[in-house]
Chain A
Amino acid sequence: MEVEAAKAIGAGLATLGMIGAGIGVGTIFGSFLSGALRNPSAAASQIGNLFVGAALAEALGILAFVLGVLIYFG
């Protein structure tokens, strides 16, 4: 296989790691919504925690994305 083709395939495979980040962010926002609907008065105080959790989950997906970029352009 040519190196260029293998690079493109590898970069594409590396970005599959973002699936996990998608699941994680979805779970966080879903759980927040179900919790917020049960107790709306407590929801506003947890917005900060919500975004921190989403950012932490998202960072791992970003790692996969950056790895893909590195493979493709490196």
Chain B
Amino acid sequence: MADPIHQFQIVKVVDFPDVTLPGVGLVDLAITNSHIAMTIAFGLVVLFLTLVTSNAQVVPGRLQTVGETLFGMIDNLTDSIIGHDGRKYFPFVFTIFLLILGMNLLGMALSFTATSQLAVTATLALVTFGLVLVIGFAKNGLKFFLLFWPMGAPLVMRPVVGLIELFSFMLRPITLALRLFGNMLGGHVALKVFAGFVVTLGAMAAGGGLGLLGIPGAALSMSMVVGLTALEFLVAFLQAFVFAVLTCIYLNDVVNLGEGH
């Protein structure tokens, strides 16, 4: 039987000949299942938003309500966390939120979850971190480094606290990537482990005799799988939301630098 880690394997679906890029080296070009999952998620997000906005009415229908709720939630988020300038950063936060949500939810339907690949989550985290750096330097110039010079602390403590601040700032993309990756990986491994119990105990019960004792165990595992699946849907939404909230908080740090937030 396939082990629970097997589902995270990247398989080449369409293989292209390798190319050698200058400065990068040999690149293994292929369309993988990870690629396909991300493309489907992207297509679903675009399709969803197109459907929501194509026939917009003053009194929203069911589909439009879903879209408006998601839109309003993120709009509220950027507004309450970043404040006055929040609208400017709304497109980025909304895009990354919907893409992660799409990939997470698609992982519940397909056998492959794109966000359970560290490469995917690390890219999303690095894009966010890069944007925070770019906005920080563009908006504040070299005053950006005041982020690591806490005015609230006593003077003797400032270098020490600043060093800790710098350390936690550099750890942000790592924790951002690992949180999403770990949650999706852990949840799907647990799901498949319990699903494996059902099959193993069921096969034992099919053997008859003392193996019939496996039936209550299999039933228990089956109910566990159902419960965990419901929990995974919650986690899929929650992790996308948490990613959006943390993006807003990190953006707020550099957008409203030195304004006592």
A5 within 8 Å of B (CB atoms):
no
What are 25 A-B contacts defined by CB distance under 8 Å?
A48-B80, A48-B245, A51-B238, A51-B242, A51-B245, A52-B242, A52-B245, A52-B246, A55-B179, A55-B238, A55-B239, A55-B242, A55-B245, A58-B179, A59-B178, A59-B179, A59-B182, A62-B178, A62-B179, A62-B182, A62-B183, A65-B186, A66-B181, A66-B185, A69-B185
Closest to B180 in A: A62
Chain B positions within 8 Å of A, measured between CB atoms, are: 5, 77, 80, 175, 178-179, 181-183, 185-186, 238-239, 241-242, 245-246, 249
For A28, what are the chain B residues with a Cβ–Cβ distance below 8 Å?
none
Number of cross-chain contacts by CB at 8 Å: 40
Of the listed residues A52, A55, A65, A69, the one surrounded by the most CB atoms of chain B closer than 10 A to its CB is A55
For B185, what are the chain A residues with a Cβ–Cβ distance below 8 Å?
66, 69
Q: How far is the CB of A13 from chain B (nearest CB, A)?
A: 17
B246 touches A65 (CB 8 A): no
B246 touches A66 (CB 8 A): no
For A8, what are the chain B residues with a Cβ–Cβ distance below 8 Å?
none
Number of interface residues of A (CB under 8 A): 12
B186 touches A55 (CB 8 A): no
Compute how far the CA of A52 lies from the CA of B246 in the bound complex, rounded to whole angstroms.
7
A63 within 8 Å of B (CB atoms):
yes
For B77, what are the chain A residues with a Cβ–Cβ distance below 8 Å?
48
The residue from A52, A58, A65 contacting B249, defined by CB atoms under 8 A apart:
A52
Instruction: Give residues of chain A (46-74) contacting chain B, Cβ–Cβ below 8 Å.
Output: 48, 51-52, 55, 58-59, 62-63, 65-66, 69, 73
For A59, what are the chain B residues with a Cβ–Cβ distance below 8 Å?
175, 178-179, 182
Chain B residues touching A, majority SS: helix
For A65, what are the chain B residues with a Cβ–Cβ distance below 8 Å?
182, 186
Compute how far the CA of A48 lies from the CA of B82 in the bound complex, rounded to whole angstroms.
14
Task: A59-B182, A66-B178, A73-B5 given; name 13 further pairs at CB < 8 Å.
Answer: A51-B242, A52-B246, A55-B179, A55-B239, A55-B242, A58-B179, A62-B179, A62-B182, A62-B183, A63-B175, A63-B178, A65-B186, A69-B185
For B239, what are the chain A residues with a Cβ–Cβ distance below 8 Å?
55
For A58, what are the chain B residues with a Cβ–Cβ distance below 8 Å?
179, 183
For B238, what are the chain A residues with a Cβ–Cβ distance below 8 Å?
51, 55
Closest to A62 in B: B182
Known contacts A62-B183, A69-B185; is-contact A51 B178 (Cβ 8 Å): no
Q: How far is the CB of B90 from chain A (nearest CB, A)?
A: 16
For A52, what are the chain B residues with a Cβ–Cβ distance below 8 Å?
242, 245-246, 249
Compute how far the CA of A67 lies from the CA of B156 in the bound complex, rounded to whole angstroms.
36
For B181, what are the chain A residues with a Cβ–Cβ distance below 8 Å?
62, 66
For A48, what are the chain B residues with a Cβ–Cβ distance below 8 Å?
77, 80, 245
Interface string of A14-55 (1 = CB under 8 A from B): 000000000000000000000000000000000010011001
A66 touches B182 (CB 8 A): yes
